[in-house]
Amino acid sequence: MSTRLTIGTLPRRLEARLDEPPGAVRAAVVLCHPHPAYGGDMDNGVVVAVAEALRADDVAVLRFNFGGVGRSEGVASGGDVEVGDVRVAIAALAARLPDVPRALVGYSFGAWAALRAVLAAPDVRGVVAIGPPLAFLDWTFLGDVPPPVDVVVGTRDQFCPADRLARVVAASGGRIVVHAVPEADHFFAGDEVRVAALVVDALRPLAAALTPSGA
């Protein structure tokens, strides 16, 4: 079942879609799209592939457009405002599905926003970052992100240099687990299904291990 939603409040109401599996929901995910300034939206090919794969694995998915994208109100800033959008989406998902474990998944800029948002979302216990653009933005907060954190990255990702990723993983002391997509670059053209499968695999133990909020 797919439900179109409007989440948040004026002056920044956000366009969203909640995709739920036909049977029991074993987990729920907020899914964040790439940078609005470069054409990112919730209908991005990687985002849609991940949403479909998660739904097929009995995970509900709330994907949304950041402010200023599609029918979402407000203006895109490429920074703190979008982190607030993620938190709005987390609250909306918790209200709709309060009794299942929750996680965040973000692609590119969406990975940065998701990782930032989880710092103020104690009821979200895991993040999957797809193609985090470590060559851009401020990542100094990563050391404060609670585990588990999984990274799905192409071995030829031009915006996530392998040497920098290796340093980040080493500094995490094993809190960050990397899943590589051989020969893929940042855009994963033709590899969307492989990316989605890795995200599903990363979230399966998370959903099994977490206790629903309030239990």
CATH number of the domain where residue 108 is located: 3.40.50.1820
C-alpha–C-alpha distance, residues 1 and 18, integer Å: 8
C-alpha–C-alpha distance, residues 95 and 170, integer Å: 37
pLDDT given for residue 174 in this prediction: 86
**Domain-located, residue 210:** no
- In terms of Cβ atoms closer than 10 Å to its own Cβ (0-12, 13-18, 19+), residue 211 is exposed
C-alpha–C-alpha distance, residues 82 and 22, integer Å: 31
Total number of domains in the chain: 1
**Domain-located, residue 211:** no
Degrees to nearest 5, angle at CA 114 with 113 and 119: 100
pLDDT given for residue 1 in this prediction: 85
**Domain-located, residue 212:** no
**Domain-located, residue 68:** yes
The SS3 call for residue 63 is strand
**Domain-located, residue 213:** no
**Domain-located, residue 215:** no
pLDDT given for residue 209 in this prediction: 56
**Domain-located, residue 77:** yes
Nearest CA to 47 out of 96, 111, 137 is that of 111
**Domain-located, residue 188:** yes
The SS3 call for residue 197 is helix
pTM: 0.95
Neighbours of 80 (CB within 10 A): 10
For 160, phi and psi rounded to 5 degrees? -130, 75
Nearest CA to 196 out of 93, 54, 18, 97 is that of 54
Helix axes 45-56 and 192-209, enclosed angle (nearest 10): 40
Domain that holds residue 7: 2-205
List per-residue pLDDT tens for the chain, 215 residues long: 899 999 999 999 999 999 999 999 999 999 999 999 999 999 999 999 999 999 999 999 999 999 999 999 999 998 999 999 999 999 999 999 999 999 999 999 999 999 999 999 999 989 999 999 999 999 999 999 999 999 999 999 999 999 999 999 999 988 999 999 999 999 999 999 999 999 999 999 876 654 444 44
